[in-house]
Amino acid sequence: MTVARIEYRSPPLKFNTGFIHQNHVLFSSVIKDARFVAAELREKWPPAHRRFINAWARRAGAMPQVGLSHPVVEAGVLEGPQGIALVLANFTYQPIEQLTVRLLIRGQVTRVHAADAPQEAIPCQIGPGSPRLRAAGFSGLVQFKIGLGLDQIVLVR
């Protein structure tokens, strides 16, 4: 199985101790193996590709702010003075009964809830940060489970 074919069309940019390549890197095998069809949600994004892509960040010691139990779910973290908005996008296109989320936090958390259900708190566990997390500016982490359709916004306050 081909995991990825990469074509470099521009020189790498130096970033800290590693390299980041400009967005001209082509992941054509990912699109091909997913059987992508424009204007339809029929493709199936192979988890093996996601693990391959993310392996480089793990090997470099990168510390993602959010960890998810399913590899083909994307998360965007938006932080502000009133808390965190976690935007989840499910690229399996199938409902996920229970998605586990681990989110690094910078301050106190008193409540987690879906944006479309503010009256229903999501049970969560809050843990202290390790010395490495504290050195990176995080006070700890919050972990919770949520059912996920195609997308969801979770507010962490």
pLDDT of residue 134: 92
Torsions phi, psi for 131 (to 5 deg): -55, -35
- Domains for the chain: give ranges and CATH numbers: 1-62 (no CATH), 64-157 (2.60.40.1180)
pLDDT tens-digit map of 91-120: 888 999 999 999 999 999 999 999 999 999
pLDDT of residue 44: 80
Helix (H) or strand (E) holding 117: none
**Position 146 pLDDT exceeds 70:** yes
Q: How far is 128 from 12, CA to CA, in rounded Å? A: 37
Q: How far is 93 from 155, CA to CA, in rounded Å? A: 22
Q: How far is 121 from 151, CA to CA, in rounded Å? A: 18
pLDDT-wise least confident of 2-16, 44-58, 130-144: 2-16
**Position 90 pLDDT exceeds 80:** yes
Q: Which two tokens stand for residue 130?
A: 């390790």
pLDDT of residue 2: 42
Q: What is the pTM of this model?
A: 0.75
Amino acid letter, residue 60: A
pLDDT tens-digit map of 19-36: 444 333 335 666 677 777
Which residues make Cβ contacts (< 8 Å) with residue 128, sequence separation at least 6? 139, 140
Helix, strand, coil fractions of the chain, as percent rounded to 5: 15, 40, 45
